[in-house]
Amino acid sequence: MPESSIIKYMVRLKFNIDGVVEKADVIGAIFGQTEGLFGPELNLNELQKNWKIGRIEINLNSKNDQTYGEVLIPSSTDITTAALLAAAVESVDKVGPCAARFQLVEIEDVRASKRKLIGDRAKEILKMWSAKSTSEGEELVREVTEAAKPGRIASYGPEGLPAGPGMFNAETVILVEGRADVLNLLRAGVDNTLAVEGAKIPDSVIKLAKERNLIAFLDGDRGGDLIQKELQQVARVSRVYRAPPGKEVEDLTPVELLDILQGRREERREERREERREERREERREELPPPPPRPVAPKATVKLPEKLAGKLKEIFPDLKDSLEAYILDEELTVLGHLPVSELVSSLSGFKGAKHIVFDGIVTQRLVDAAAKAGVSTIIGYKVSDAIKKPEGATVESFASVGLA
């Protein structure tokens, strides 16, 4: 099955069936009625074996003797092949004994969605970097900003309350205590702010609370306590943030401001605690005696043909700890590369298979299936006890051939 990172297109179709059927019936109809339409290169079974399409998902519901739902086909093919697959599924007109209608909804370019996510994340990273870099030389930044941009603070309402320029169009407005708090938040890139200028809440703020979502960001002192109590009585505030005890909003760095507003302060505290715990663990490790040397890998006890042994050494680094399998023909050409869980069920589909090398345990069930498929060599991570080998077959472990 294609990994999500290499899926290019997601083919979505909807269907309506005159009768009650199950998912297995729909899958069987799709595979059965599209087989042989365009030759083996566009056969759904072959495309799945070659990891060109993933597992076909069926979502369905039944009501009033009708079954309806959608089909999802993840594809790593080109757009032409994806379109042909969609058209082929649309040609399915029966599911079991019931008449059926399939219709394409869309062919989604998964990579386009991924590019948008990457672009949005890049913007977030740039914003965080900008906030952190602003913290360097903080005192100098404050002096230069105040001197160079004295007019950035606007006024609001008949009281002339200090306000950030972004609050006039923002759905959420941050209430602070004074002009200096508005200015400090502007340095951190937060411009949807409004100062209440004292413990008594102005009428403009009370009226604004009926029209906008308000949150408060108050000093960590008694003055902040009084304003919070007053706000709770006269205006609807969805959330209240506070500066650390004894500190004022105007004294915080841009990073500290954003940490509090974005709820990251507790996360950073936990990170620092975890760092201290790790330091203590590292100190204890240094006091322990060194671990004993690792045992040397066993030497090969079985000699394989030279060409086969060379091929195994070539593919072993990719195979180790992967829970995957390689199927080779007599010329040591790779016929298939698939998960171990699908090995037994898929083995009969590989014509000319002679060798199996896989990161799993060799069982009697696999040995029997391999014998039927004409496989002469099976090499796995480990071989189960009491395996009955077919005459002339080679069944070994990684260790016995010197790969472990």
Joined tokens for residue 269: 């505290």
Greater pLDDT, 289 or 237:
237
pLDDT at residue 167 is higher than 60 = yes
Maximum mean pLDDT: which of 32-36, 227-231, 327-331: 327-331
Angle at CA of residue 23, ends 20 and 27, nearest 5°: 115
pLDDT at residue 72 is higher than 90 = yes
Question: Which are the contacts of 290, defined by CB distance < 8 A and separation ≥ 6?
Answer: none
pLDDT at residue 304 is higher than 60 = yes
Q: What is the pLDDT of residue 119?
A: 84
Q: What is the pLDDT of residue 265?
A: 56
Average of pLDDT values for 39-68? 84
**Long-range contacts of 236-242, Cβ-Cβ distance < 8 Å, separation of 24 or more:** 236/209, 236/210, 237/175, 237/209, 238/213, 238/214, 239/215, 240/215, 240/216, 241/215, 241/216, 241/217, 242/217, 242/218
Q: What is the pLDDT of residue 303?
A: 83
Greater pLDDT, 281 or 141:
281
Type and span of the H or E element at 239? strand 239-242
pLDDT at residue 291 is higher than 60 = no
Q: What CA–CA distance (Å, rounded) separates 363 from 390?
A: 13
Average of pLDDT values for 35-58? 80
Q: What is the pLDDT of residue 254?
A: 86
Q: What is the pLDDT of residue 102?
A: 94
Q: What is the pLDDT of residue 151?
A: 46
Residue 161, strand partner residues: 156
Burial class (CB in 10 A: 0-12, 13-18, 19+), 404: middle
Residue 61 confidence class, pLDDT cut points 50, 70, 90? very high
Burial class (CB in 10 A: 0-12, 13-18, 19+), 40: exposed
Residue 404 confidence class, pLDDT cut points 50, 70, 90? low
Type and span of the H or E element at 381? strand 377-383
pLDDT at residue 343 is higher than 60 = yes
Q: What CA–CA distance (Å, rounded) separates 140 from 119?
A: 32
Question: Which are the contacts of 382, defined by CB distance < 8 A and separation ≥ 6?
Answer: 361, 362, 397, 398
Type and span of the H or E element at 337? strand 334-339
Q: What CA–CA distance (Å, rounded) separates 272 from 276?
A: 6
Phi, psi angle pair for 322, to nearest 5°: -105, -15
Average of pLDDT values for 166-185? 89
Greater pLDDT, 147 or 96:
96
| Coil/strand/helix, residue 314 | helix
Type and span of the H or E element at 329? strand 324-329
Q: What is the pLDDT of residue 267?
A: 58
Burial class (CB in 10 A: 0-12, 13-18, 19+), 138: middle
Q: What is the pLDDT of residue 236?
A: 85
Q: What is the pLDDT of residue 270?
A: 66
Contact 328, 335 (CB under 8 A): yes
CA 280 to chain CA centroid, Å, is 33
**Each residue's pLDDT tens digit, 112-158:** 777 888 888 888 888 888 776 666 666 666 665 555 454 478 889 88
Question: Which are the contacts of 214, defined by CB distance < 8 A and separation ≥ 6?
Answer: 172, 173, 174, 175, 205, 208, 235, 236, 237, 238
Residue 354 confidence class, pLDDT cut points 50, 70, 90? very high
**Each residue's pLDDT tens digit, 309-340:** 888 888 898 888 888 899 999 999 988 888 88
**Each residue's pLDDT tens digit, 176-200:** 998 888 888 888 888 899 998 887 8
* Average pLDDT for the chain: 83
Which ranges in 137-253 belong to alpha helices (H)?
138-148, 179-187, 203-209, 222-234
Angle at CA of residue 74, ends 70 and 79, nearest 5°: 105
Q: What is the pLDDT of residue 1?
A: 43
